[in-house]
């Protein structure tokens, strides 16, 4: 290509149809250029796909629960530490209670089934005990016996017997809860906290950074000293200290916090307090350079207020780098949330999050090593995807990287 002369280029352009030429002459909009550039970064695109999948899982966690029909909080002490891909049977005592309830709720159907069971000699006990006798058998055997009756009254009982058998894609944890559905709900909590923290801290950073950059002088010095001081602190110990406090001892926070959402709410506040600094520095840097540009001078000459200049004229220019910062921030927040929950100071059980699932799993590495693998793998996958997405966005947005 490098040896191509001007003539050849001309010939090539001449071969294009008029429609293509019109396309070429039209200026490409910004987002299109960014998109083309972004699509070149294969790993970033993969990251975006993975993130979309996780987002969908997080949003449709309720639907997934109703499809699989597994309760994330249902405990089954008889079936702890089941390996992945196993089917668990409910314990005898639970079956008997369930059957008893079925009989009292549907006396006619139960009566018909009991009669049929005895007359067809499937069970050799009195009519009143027939269904219980069936319940003591293997679930699959009992279901096929019920189906062989070909009674329409047996339908309710068949579905009841089917519910005695649960399939665990990723096995069960130390309380016999299904790991798969807990991971699904954990996705909702972890992704939710990550995204909310990233957006909220980006807004805080935007506010502080733009005030510091726009007004300069003493305001700038004070704000940036605070930012630098916070940035130089080691995060995890500081977060541990803050996470350990009892927020209801602070009067003005008492009103918003209730016991049910306390740990999630606390988590978001704490992480926000310590993740706005990088955005603030980034915004301040851009605002400082934008401040000297002619269009700001023009706006000021026209009598625009400070707030108008900042919001209308400066913010659009910092959106692109902020988008990158938010993306990278989500990955970081997910890591911090997981670390704190892992230490037992973040999201409190029974609410599942990837981090607190690891907290329990650490003590069980001898009994059930697989419990420790999956949540961490999900954290890793999400963080790596967000990091690649941020990297891809940065390459795509940065005008120096665009090959024109």
Site residues (vs another protein, CB under 8 A): 43, 225, 229, 231-238, 240-242, 244-247, 249-250, 331, 335, 338-339, 342-344, 358, 361-362, 365-366, 369, 372-373, 375-376, 379-380, 383-384, 387-388, 391
Residue whose CB is less far from another protein, 69 or 228: 228
Min. distance of Cβ 230 from another protein in angstroms? 9
CB closer to another protein out of 256 and 365: 365
Tell me how far, at minimum, the Cβ of 72 lies from another protein, in Å: 21
Shortest spacing between CB 52 and another protein, in angstroms: 18
Rank residues 166 and 190 by Cβ distance to another protein and give the closer one: 190
Q: Identify which of residues 210 and 383 has a Cβ nearer to another protein in the complex.
A: 383
CA separation for the pair 65, 77 (Å, rounded): 21
How many helices and strands (H and E) does the chain possess?
Answer: 21, 2
Half-sphere exposure of residue 245, counting CA atoms within 13 Å on the CB side?
13
3-class state of residue 397 by DSSP:
helix
Quick one: 115 or 235, whose CB is closer to another protein?
235
Residue 377 CB, nearest approach to another protein (Å):
8
Torsion (CA) 284, 285, 286, 292 in degrees, nearest 10:
100
For residues 328 and 337, what is the distance between their CA atoms, to the nearest angstrom? 14
Calculate the dihedral angle through the C-alpha atoms of 308, 309, 310, 315, rounding to the nearest 10 degrees.
100
Which residues, 6+ apart, have CB-to-CB distance to 393 below 8 Å? 34, 38, 44, 323, 324, 327
What angle separates helix 154-163 from helix 139-148, to the nearest 10 degrees? 170
Closer by beta carbon to another protein, 122 or else 247: 247
Element (H, E) at 214: helix 179-215
CA distance 35 to 27: 15
Task: List 87's β-bridge partners, or say none.
Answer: 167
Comparison of 112 and 381: residue with beta carbon closer to another protein? 381
CB nearer to another protein: pick between 102 and 342: 342
Q: How far is the CB of 260 from another protein (least distance, A)?
A: 18
The DSSP secondary structure of 33-67, one letter per residue, reads HHHHHHHH-HHHHHHHHHHHHHHHHHHTHHHHHHH
Q: How far is the CB of 237 from another protein (least distance, A)?
A: 5
Residue 135 or 355 with smaller CB distance to another protein: 355
What are the start-end ranges of the H helices in 233-314?
235-243, 251-254, 262-273, 277-291, 294-301, 306-308
**Shortest Cβ distance from residue 330 to another protein (Å)?**
12
Q: State in angstroms the smallest separation of the CB of 265 from another protein.
A: 16
User: Least distance in Å: CB of 344 to another protein?
Assistant: 8
Structure tokens at 24: 């070429």
Nearest to another protein of 117, 339 (CB atom): 339
Minimum separation from the CB atom of position 239 to another protein (A): 9
Burial of 15 (0-12, 13-18, 19+ CB in 10 A): exposed
Enter the tokens of residue 400. 């120096």
- Distance, CA of 30 to CA of 314 (rounded, Å): 17
**Could you give the 3-state DSSP secondary structure of residue 75?**
coil
């Amino acid at each position: 290509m490098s040896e191509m002369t001007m003539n050849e280029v001309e010939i090539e352009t001449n071969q294009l149809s008029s429609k293509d030429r019109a396309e070429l002459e039209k200026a490409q909009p910004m987002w299109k250029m960014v998109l083309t550039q972004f699509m070149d970064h294969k790993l970033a695109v993969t990251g975006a796909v993975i993130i979309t999948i996780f987002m969908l899982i997080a949003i449709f966690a309720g639907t997934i629960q109703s499809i699989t029909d597994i309760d994330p909080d249902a405990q089954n002490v008889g079936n702890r530490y089941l390996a992945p891909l196993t089917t668990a049977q409910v314990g005898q005592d639970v079956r008997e209670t369930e059957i008893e309830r079925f009989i009292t709720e549907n006396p006619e159907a139960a009566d018909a089934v009991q009669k049929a069971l005895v007359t067809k000699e499937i069970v050799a006990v009195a009519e009143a005990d027939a269904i219980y006798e069936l319940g003591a058998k293997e679930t699959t055997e009992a279901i096929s016996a019920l189906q062989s009756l070909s009674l329409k009254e047996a339908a309710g009982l068949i579905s009841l017997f089917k519910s005695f058998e649960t399939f665990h894609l990723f096995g069960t944890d130390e309380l016999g809860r299904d790991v798969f559905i807990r991971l699904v709900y954990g996705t909702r909590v972890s992704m939710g906290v990550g995204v909310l923290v990233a957006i909220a801290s980006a807004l805080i950073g935007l506010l502080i950074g733009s005030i510091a950059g726009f007004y300069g002088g003493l305001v700038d010095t004070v704000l940036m000293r605070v930012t630098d001081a916070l940035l130089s602190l080691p995060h995890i110990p500081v977060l541990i200290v803050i996470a350990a406090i009892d927020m209801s001892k602070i009067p003005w926070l008492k009103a918003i916090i209730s016991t049910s959402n306390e740990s999630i709410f606390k988590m978001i506040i704490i992480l926000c307090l310590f993740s706005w600094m990088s955005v603030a520095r980034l915004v301040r840097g851009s605002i400082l350079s934008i401040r000297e540009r002619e269009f700001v001078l023009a706006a000021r000459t026209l009598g625009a207020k400070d707030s108008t200049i900042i919001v209308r004229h400066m913010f659009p220019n910092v959106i692109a780098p902020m988008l990158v910062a938010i993306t990278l921030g989500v990955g970081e927040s997910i890591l911090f949330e997981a670390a704190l929950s892992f230490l037992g100071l973040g999201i409190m059980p029974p609410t599942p999050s990837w981090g607190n699932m690891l907290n329990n799993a650490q003590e069980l590495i001898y009994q059930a090593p697989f419990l420790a693998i999956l949540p961490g793998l999900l954290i890793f996958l999400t963080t790596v995807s967000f990091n690649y997405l941020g990297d891809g966005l940065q390459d795509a947005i940065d005008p120096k990287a665009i090959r024109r």
